[in-house]
Amino acid sequence: MSLIIKGGRIIDPVNGRDREGDLLIEKGRIVKIGKSLSGDRTIDAKGLWVVPGLIDMHVHLREPGYEYKETIESGCRAAAAGGFTAVACMPNTDPVNDNGSVTDLILTRARSAAVTVHPVGAITRGSCGEGLAEIGEMAELGVVALSDDGRPVTNGQLMRRGMEYAGSFGLPVISHAEDLDLCAGGVMHEGTISTRLGLRGIPSAAEESMVERDILLAELTGAALHVAHVSARGTVERIRKAKARGVPVTAEVTPHHLSLSHEALAGYDTNLKVNPPLRTEEDRQALIAGLADGTLDAVASDHAPHNIAEKEVEFDQAAFGMVGLETSLSLLLQLVHEGRLTPVQLVERMSPAPARILKLQGGTLREGAVADVTLIDPDLTFTVDAARFRSLSSNTPFQGRELKGKAVCTLVRGKAVYSDPVMKGRKRKVT
């Protein structure tokens, strides 16, 4: 049974394509791209963008160990609803993904999931920062990167060794960069707002100092460094300078850091308590500029589901993090509507870039490629309703917010894993 995606705006940055056309999909692959194609089934994509399947390279699926917050199954359904055809999941599970058996468990559970799951393995055992994890074993099973995400690797020598060892397996190292001592007890950005609210702050220096260290180590070892969730303008500057002198560094930024600043915390909404914290408006503007000029290579949600019991508590006690898979694309589309990002740039940062960084198949719509495709309606307005999230958790600060633009259909290997109700009128079977 062949499928035609008809008349959409095909945006394929890798192949320099941004024009109207048809996609023919057969047996899970893109067979032809052209005009006036025909097939057994048709999806009318008029007015929609047809893009390579979006990839979220930083999500927390919480399984094994924290299934009350999210499971691989629910997290992948959330990803599909958000327009993602693949995700990379972080190893801070329980037990930590620091050896083959946990990697194997994740991959096994992922086999029946809606989207493709690429596990990230820990750099150190238990992510405790004391000794190397069984990186080779995990590499053999298919981890795509290494990270102690949730924690930094404080010991410089160990981070260096982790980078060198990862290098032998061709794996990038994703750094969650923070100086834990400078962060101690902090719950939001250190600045005028934390002073007004009486909350302990985390200064930008806590992130910048560690990013600079990691950049120097990447330079020393030649390892591929990827900086997770950049939050400070000084960090953007440092990455820009490092790239200019040829350091193998890439970086990502979250939709919430691109959309919010610390001023939003005035009501003590714990859904805004994130690590790294939301910083000033100047930082936010620098992040947007950095994403537009490519200093920040990719958008990654850092989807961090937490149970109500962990969020509906005093601000100091609340867990850090917000969910993001089901709002990520829509928040980025707001930047396109505001003229801060072009459609081609948006697609590039959310599909080919993560594919390139993690050396994944995907990020492209060329003939012969696996048919991971996302259909986006850039003008569809909707109101964020966490009660209707596929995620098991609802810790989002965007509840009730009206957004314009969302994914309306997500195809993984040619099969629709998500279809917005608006798609009903667009599907036709030719008998």
Partner 1 sequence: MAWGKRKDLLGIEDLSREEIEAILDTAESFKDVSLRKIKKVPALRGVTVVNLFLEPSTRTRTSFELAGKRLSADVINISASSSSILKGESLKDTAWNIEAMNADILIVRHVAAGTAHFLSRVLNCSVINAGDGAHEHPTQALLDLFSIRERKQKIDGLTVAIVGDIAHSRVARSNILALRKLGARVRIAGPGTMIPPGIEAMDVEVCRSLDEAIDGVDVIMMLRIQKERQEQSLFPSVREYSRFFGLTRQRLKGAQEDLLIMHPGPINRGVEIAPDVADGPYSIILDQVTNGVAVRMATLYLYSGAKR
Q: Taking each helix axis from N to C terminus, what angle separates 233-244 and 204-221, rounded to the nearest 10 degrees?
A: 20
Q: Is 180 in the site for partner 1 (CB under 8 A)?
A: no
Minimum distance between the CB of residue 191 and partner 1, rounded to whole angstroms?
5
Toward partner 1, which CB reaches closer, 275 or 419? 275
Q: Which amino acid belongs to residue 234?
A: G
Here's the x/- map for partner 1, 152-171, by CB under 8 A: it reads as --------------------
Provide the 10 A C-beta neighbour count for residue 148. 31
From the candidates 149, 302, 372, 420, give the one annotated as an active-site residue: 302
With contacts defined by CB under 8 A, name the span among 89-97, 189-197, 365-373, 381-389 that binds partner 1.
Answer: 189-197
- Which of 59, 54, 69 is CA-nearest to residue 254? 59
214 binds partner 1 (CB under 8 A): no
# of chain residues touching partner 1 (CB under 8 A): 21
Q: Binder to partner 1 among 313, 359, 379, 415 (CB under 8 A)?
A: 313
Among positions 316, 337, 388, 415, the unique one binding partner 1 when judged by CB under 8 A: 316
CB of 155 to partner 1, least distance (A): 23
d(CA 45, CA 43): 6
Site map (CB under 8 A) of partner 1, residues 215-234, x = contact: --------------------
Q: Out of 155, 317, 381, 383, point to the residue binding partner 1 (CB under 8 A).
A: 317
Of residues 368, 155, 186, the one with CA closest to residue 262: 186
Query: In this chain, which stretch among 5-13, 29-37, 220-228, 305-313 interacts with partner 1, using CB under 8 A?
Result: 305-313
Q: What tokens does 239 get?
A: 């990455």
Told to check if 198 binds partner 1 by CB under 8 A, we report: yes
Both tokens of 88, joined, read 């990379």
Given candidates 42, 99, 103, 194, which one binds partner 1 under the rule CB under 8 A? 194
Q: Distances in Å between the alpha carbon of 341 and those of 279, 335, 376, 404? A: 21, 6, 16, 15
Chain centre distance of CA 134: 25
| Amino acid in the structure at residue 72 | I
201 contacts partner 1 (rule: CB under 8 A): yes
Q: Among residues 66, 315, 320, 382, which is the contact residue for partner 1, using CB under 8 A?
A: 315
With b for 16 or more beta-carbon neighbours within 10 A and e for fewer, the 191-225 pattern comes to bebbeebebebbbbebbbbbbbbbbebbbebebbb
**Residue choice 38, 195, 381, 383 for contact with partner 1 (CB under 8 A):** 195
| Helices vs strands, H then E, count in the chain | 14, 19
Does 302 participate in catalysis according to the annotation?
A: yes
**Please, are residues 118 and 89 in contact by the beta-carbon 8 Å criterion?**
yes
The DSSP element (H or E) to which 208 belongs, if any, is helix 204-221
Q: Which of 246, 184, 239 is nearest to 208 (CA)?
A: 239
244 in contact with partner 1 (CB under 8 A): no
Return the residue of 244, 309, 402, 425 that touches partner 1, per CB under 8 A: 309
User: Which residues are identified as catalytic?
Assistant: 302
Q: Which residues bind partner 1 (CB under 8 A)?
A: 190-199, 201, 203, 267-268, 309, 312-317
